[in-house]
């Protein structure tokens, strides 16, 4: 039997941080903060990461590292004779749906990176940038082409396997991502009037924070850390047995949160410096920031670097999403890695192509007042991730043998045991209640 690959210690952290860090941090987090009171939203978000994100992350780590198997194989080993393994198929479906709609936005990043490289991000008014974005997403062939190109790059990396593909790519891209973020932050802070953006970001205004903002912060914590769809189960199954899970989870959550906050530092000082609207919403990156770049010294360079940054963040996340079904097919269906990648790519296209066309030829196709892209986005973040987070929290907190949890969190008694009590309390009581509240809010029952 072929020996299973294992991440090196720093490779494991780089890959898992890469899985967590993505467009959710750099695209979604800033506009969520902008719409929900800036600093107040950030404080609630950090609290959600501590009480929900890290414990649920640890529950996935325990399942994956204790068995060194994919989600189904792990549940079959941990709970023989039960049918809890069936939840694996919900996780795989969630991963494919997320990968499909997410790749469309990643395709937008490629389009804008090309525009930036050829100088197409200068000489326009904010209204013209809005028209440019609208014209792009209304073009069926362009949206589909860029989505296909991005998925092609994604699966090309995955063909190189765990060590030479995922670990090596993450090890290169994550340091570069942090470096680019820091360069952007310094440049943004040197702009005139930038301190207004800093004040907005770090001076909490709780009068602007509604219960919707609190729920958004909880949902953002799940989406940002990619919890609930077994991605971290899959990655942790490649961890060494001596890796300190609690410490690594804290490092990963801290770095993920740091990227999100740095994205805010990068964006909001510039937004305030040039008199833009901080609550601009999802169009902040594709319509507002280009008009800022052209007013900055060296705007061409900043535009190119920014979309390179987004591309790195996009790719590390889609790699982890893709690895969920690939590992399942290799280990549970005895497929070659190449064939498993082919089937995963086919499944992703079944979601990605309709999502890309939902802004043009399929714009009249709606369900629950949402086009297909919005529907898949909603299902991924508000259904699959929440259900998966609830499942792993309840399963590990209430049903998994406590000796297994203790062995994994303390490395068989060699590490501090306090984290075990904290994790169990959060998984049993805090996380399930919070997830149920988020879900009830999302479906409009509260």
Domain boundaries, the chain: 9-442
Lowest mean pLDDT segment, chosen from 67-76, 302-311, 398-407: 302-311
d(CA 313, CA 176) in angstroms, rounded, equals: 10
Q: Is the pLDDT of residue 110 over 80?
A: yes
Is the separation of the CB atoms in 69 and 331 below 8 Å? Answer: yes
- pLDDT average, residue stretch 42-51: 91
| Beta-carbon count within 10 A of 316 CB | 25
- pLDDT average, residue stretch 126-152: 89
Lowest mean pLDDT segment, chosen from 114-128, 220-234, 309-323: 114-128
Which structure tokens are listed for 357? 């066309």
Question: Bridge-partner residues for 367, per DSSP?
Answer: 370
Lowest mean pLDDT segment, chosen from 59-63, 138-142, 260-264: 260-264
Helix H or strand E segment including 371? strand 370-371
Task: Give me the percent of the chain exceeding a pLDDT of 70.
Answer: 92
CA dihedral angle for residue 111, residue 113, residue 119, residue 121, rounded to 10 degrees: 80
pTM, two decimals, is 0.88
Select the highest-mean-pLDDT range: 6-10, 23-27, 326-330: 326-330
Q: Is the pLDDT of residue 428 over 80?
A: yes
**Cα 76 off chain centre by:** 27
pLDDT at 1: 42
Mean pLDDT of the chain: 85
| Beta-carbon count within 10 A of 144 CB | 20
CA dihedral angle for residue 254, residue 257, residue 261, residue 266, rounded to 10 degrees: 100
SS3 6: coil
Is the separation of the CB atoms in 151 and 341 below 8 Å? Answer: no
d(CA 339, CA 298) in angstroms, rounded, equals: 46
Q: At the top level of CATH, which class does the domain 9-442 belong to?
A: mainly alpha
For the stretch 112-122, pLDDT in tens is: 999 888 887 77
pLDDT at 2: 53
More confident site: 21 or 72: 72
| Beta-carbon count within 10 A of 34 CB | 22
pLDDT at 6: 72
Q: Is the pLDDT of residue 75 over 70?
A: yes
For the stretch 249-295, pLDDT in tens is: 998 899 888 888 888 888 888 778 877 766 655 566 777 677 777 77
- pLDDT average, residue stretch 380-396: 89
- Of 249, 226, 238, residue with least CA distance to 95: 226
- Of 386, 388, 394, 424, residue with least CA distance to 408: 424
d(CA 146, CA 383) in angstroms, rounded, equals: 27
Lowest mean pLDDT segment, chosen from 10-19, 292-301, 401-410: 10-19
- pLDDT average, residue stretch 143-160: 91
d(CA 398, CA 255) in angstroms, rounded, equals: 29
pLDDT at 178: 82
Is the separation of the CB atoms in 381 and 438 below 8 Å? Answer: no
For the stretch 334-371, pLDDT in tens is: 999 899 999 999 999 999 999 999 999 999 999 888 99
In degrees, rounded to 5, the angle at the alpha carbon of residue 331 between the alpha carbons of residues 77 and 8 is 90
pLDDT at 415: 67
d(CA 183, CA 306) in angstroms, rounded, equals: 10
pLDDT at 8: 64
- pLDDT average, residue stretch 160-189: 76
**Cα 150 off chain centre by:** 16
């Amino acid at each position: 039997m072929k020996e299973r690959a294992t991440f090196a210690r720093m490779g494991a952290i780089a890959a898992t941080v890469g899985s967590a860090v993505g467009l959710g941090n750099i695209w979604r987090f800033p506009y969520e903060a902008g719409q929900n009171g800036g600093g107040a939203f950030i404080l609630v978000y950090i609290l959600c990461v501590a009480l929900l994100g890290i414990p649920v992350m640890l529950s996935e780590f325990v399942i994956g590292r204790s068995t060194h198997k994919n989600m189904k194989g792990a549940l079959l080993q941990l709970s023989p004779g039960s049918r809890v393994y069936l939840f694996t198929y919900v996780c795989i479906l969630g991963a494919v749906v997320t990968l499909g709609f997410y790749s469309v936005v990643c395709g937008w990043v490629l389009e804008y990176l090309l525009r930036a490289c050829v100088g197409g991000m200068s000489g326009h008014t904010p209204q013209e940038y809005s028209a440019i974005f609208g014209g792009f997403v209304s073009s069926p062939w362009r949206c589909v082409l860029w989505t296909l190109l991005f998925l092609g790059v994604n699966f090309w990396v995955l063909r190189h396997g765990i060590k030479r593909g995922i670990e090596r790519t993450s090890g290169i891209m994550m340091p570069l991502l942090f470096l680019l973020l820091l360069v952007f932050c310094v440049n943004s802070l040197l702009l005139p009037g930038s301190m207004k953006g800093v004040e907005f970001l770090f001076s909490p205004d709780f009068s602007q924070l509604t219960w919707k903002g609190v729920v958004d912060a909880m949902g953002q914590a799940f989406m940002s850390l990619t919890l609930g769809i077994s991605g971290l189960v899959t990655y942790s199954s490649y961890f060494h047995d001596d890796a300190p899970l609690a410490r690594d989870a804290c490092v990963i959550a801290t770095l993920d949160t740091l990227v999100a906050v740095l994205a805010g530092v990068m964006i909001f000082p510039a937004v305030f410096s040039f008199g833009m609207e901080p609550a601009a919403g999802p169009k902040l990156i594709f319509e507002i920031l280009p008009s800022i770049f052209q007013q900055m010294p060296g705007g061409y360079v900043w535009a190119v670097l920014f979309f390179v940054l987004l591309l790195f963040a996009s790719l590390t996340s889609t790699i982890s999403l893709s690895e969920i079904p690939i590992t399942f097919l290799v280990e549970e269906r005895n497929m070659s890695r190449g064939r498993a990648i082919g089937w995963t790519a086919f499944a992703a296209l079944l979601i990605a192509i309709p999502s890309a066309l939902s802004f043009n030829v399929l714009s009249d196709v709606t369900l629950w007042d949402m086009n297909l892209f919005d529907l898949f986005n909603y299902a991924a973040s508000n259904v699959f991730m929440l259900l998966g987070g609830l499942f792993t929290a309840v399963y590990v907190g209430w049903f998994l043998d406590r000796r297994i949890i203790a062995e994994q969190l303390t490395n068989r008694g060699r590490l501090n045991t306090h984290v075990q009590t904290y994790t169990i309390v959060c998984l049993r009581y805090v996380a399930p209640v919070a997830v149920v509240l988020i879900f009830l809010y999302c479906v409009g029952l509260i």
